[in-house]
Structure formats: C-alpha cells, structure tokens
A = this chain, B = another copy of it.
Amino acid sequence: MTRIQYQECIDACIKTMNTCNYSYVSSLKEYHLEELRESIRLDRECADICSFAIQAMTRQSPFVVQILRLCADICEACADESSKHVHRHCRSCIEACRECAAACRMISETVEVYA
C-alpha cells in the first residue's frame, strides 16, 4: 500500500471531518437544539477520529488498519444518528460518513495487520 493508494481514503476522511464539524457548528445554532444532543456529540466524535485517521495515514502508521476500522465504525454510527434528522447539514453527514466508512473498510480489508 503506497501513499497514492491511501489518497482516496484520506480525501474521504477530510470531507467527513469537514462535513461533521460543519454540522456540529450548524446544530449548535438550530432553534430546536434539544433534538440534536446526540447528533452534536457524534459529529465531534466523528470529526476527531477522522482527524486522527488522516494523520495516521499520512505518517504511515503501522496501526492504520485498526485505526481505519474504528473510523468506519464511528462514521456509521454518525450516519445512523444523522439519518434521524431533516436538516440539510445532517443529510450531508449521512452521505459523507457512509462514503468514508466504505473507503476505510476497503483499505482495512486489503492491508495486513501489523504484528
């Protein structure tokens, strides 16, 4: 697995971090804020693991497979939570998170685990 091959996954993680952080900020401005408690929390979780995964891929971490599996899990949880809401920023999260989860799983299934 070379730097080039990671690029698609890095891009997906950047897009998801961006989308989740935008949804986080937007949610905190919504009128019916009380419906978005869990969404705000998961947006931050998802942005944080995406940020961590991006760094890990660019420094060729020996643990990139395990980190991307975790990233995929959190992206899927964030997509599920976002799908309960009708706001446009929540809908954007669903798409970005699902694509990112798929990109993470593709790499984590084709690279051998560090041992």
List the interface of chain A (C-beta within 8 A of B): 3, 10, 14, 17-18, 21-22, 24-25, 28-29, 33-34, 37, 40-42, 44-45, 47-49, 51-52, 54-56, 58-63, 66-67, 70, 73-74, 77, 114
Contact = CB atoms under 8 A, between A and B. Distances in A.
Contacts of A55: 17, 21, 47-48, 51
B62 A17 contact: no
Q: How many copies does the complex hold?
A: 4
Q: For chain A, what secondary structure do more than half of its interface residues adopt (helix, strand, loop), or is it mixed?
A: helix
A86 B6 CA distance: 27
A106 B39 CA distance: 29
Given A67-B70, A73-B66, A77-B114, A60 B17 contact: no
Contact of A22 (B3, B67, B70): B3
B37 A29 contact: yes
A21 B58 contact: yes
Contacts of A44: 44, 59
Contacts of A42: 62
